[in-house]
Each structure stands twice: as C-alpha cells, then as structure tokens.
Amino acid sequence: MSKSIKKESPLTMDVFTAGIWKENPVFVMMLGLCPVLAVTNSVENSLAMGAASVFVLVCSNALVSALRNFIPKQVRITTYIIIIATFVTLVDYIIQAISLDLYNKLGAFIQLIVVNCLILGRAEAYASKNSFGKSVISALGMGLGFTLALVMLGGVRELLGAGQLLGYQVFSLDFEPWIVMILPPGGFIVLGSWLLLINYIEQRKTGKLVADDMASHCSISQN
C-alpha cells in the first residue's frame, strides 16, 4: 500500500455504532451468513459463536491495522488469512478448554470462522486503511452487530422451536414446539422474515426503495 496515507477522519461515536445497526454485517451487508444460520438454533449457541467471532474480528483487525505499513500489497490477502487462522486456532482451543459440551455443539463451525467473509472483508476494507484505534473500535462495533443478529435469530428460533429462551421455559408445557424452526429450513425462513421486516420498516421510514446490492455480497477487492 502507498505510504502517503490520506488525512484520516477523527475517531467518532459513528465508527462504533455504524456496525451495530446502520451497516449491520448480517442484515445490511449479508456477510458471514454460514455461521449465522448454522449455529443459531438456540440463544446460548448464538452468544458463544458471537463471542468467538468478536474475539477473532477484534484481534485480527488490530494486528492487520498495526502491520498495515509492512505488509506488501501482493501478498496481503494471504497474510490476512494466516493472521485470522492463527486467532481462530486460539479460539478453537480456548473453547475446547472452557466447555467441551459447547465445543461439541458448535462443531466445525468454530474453525470455519476462518472463512467468514465478514472478518476478511473488514481486514481488507477497513483495518488495512485505518489507524489502530479506529480499527479496533470499528471491529468491536461490527462484532457486536454480528452478535446482535445472531441472537435475534437464535431467540426467535429457540422460542418457537422449543418454547424456551436460554433454556428457561417461556411458553406453557402445552405449547407444541415448531420443530421446523430448529431444523435447517427454520434458519432460512427466520432470516428471510427479519429481512422482510427490516425492508418494510426502512421503506416506511424513507418512502423509497433500498438499493439492490445483491451482486456485491462478500466482495473483497482483489488485484
């Protein structure tokens, strides 16, 4: 990357809050969908996955940002992937040490954080161009937004699919659980419903259409 870095905009609250709602990685940018759908059959799994992703996102973005003037442009993607893979291996072993039960529930999806396009996307699009502090704050916001989305999905799926929330019975025991909600189709349907609802609210608010950015999913600029 070029040495002449443009004058950076100051660190504001916006850097942090953008990721939580306005540029929410799941609902707005549609990044990192695989873990979003795969592990959100309960709130507990969603929280664990969210925490693991926040850890990897913040650490890798911090390191990428700190090293941004030393990484040659040609090999940057490879370097980012290796940095991310290192932190994912760490998180993999940490979760295994804390709770083997949780580790078995999440299975290969912890290791699959490596290929979560959200993390590589943020490293490429933000951390490689911005200062250390801003990158960390932004990564934290993005991570929280990601976790929020996971919990929003996990909450609906656990509530309807098992009548429980975080393991506590919410509906009476007569409630017939909607098994489909904790099965794979439920993930797609609940995410689709949230997106419909968000589109509806946005259009009510602005009165105009949301731009169709279907083609730009996961797009990381490659040379």
Partner 1 sequence: MNPESLSFIFLNAFLINNFVLALFLGLCPFVGVSAKRDTAFNMSLATAFVMFVSSTCAYGINQILTIFELEFLRLISYIALIASSVQLVEMILKKFSPALFRALGIFLPLITTNCAILGVALFQTSRNYDFLQSVSFSLGAGAGFGLAIILMAGLREKLELSVLPNITQAAALSMMLAGILSLTFMGFAGLGTTA
The site for partner 1 (CB under 8 A) is made up of 30-31, 33-34, 37-38, 77-78, 81-82, 85-86, 88-89, 92-93, 107-108, 111-112, 114-117, 120, 180, 183-189, 191-193, 195-196, 199-200, 203, 209-210, 212-215, 217-220, 222
> Which tokens sit at 158?
């656990």
Residue with smaller CB distance to partner 1, 65 or 79: 79
State the minimum distance, in angstroms, from the CB of residue 213 to partner 1.
Answer: 7
Residue with smaller CB distance to partner 1, 11 or 198: 198
Residue with smaller CB distance to partner 1, 151 or 198: 198
| Separation CA 35–CA 150 (nearest Å) | 9
Are residues 95 and 106 in contact, defined by beta-carbon separation less than 8 angstroms? Answer: yes
Are residues 46 and 150 in contact, defined by beta-carbon separation less than 8 angstroms? Answer: yes
Are residues 123 and 87 in contact, defined by beta-carbon separation less than 8 angstroms? Answer: no
Dihedral (CA of 74, 78, 81, 85) sign:
negative
Residue with smaller CB distance to partner 1, 15 or 31: 31
State the minimum distance, in angstroms, from the CB of residue 120 to partner 1.
Answer: 6
Find residue 165's DSSP bridge partners.
168
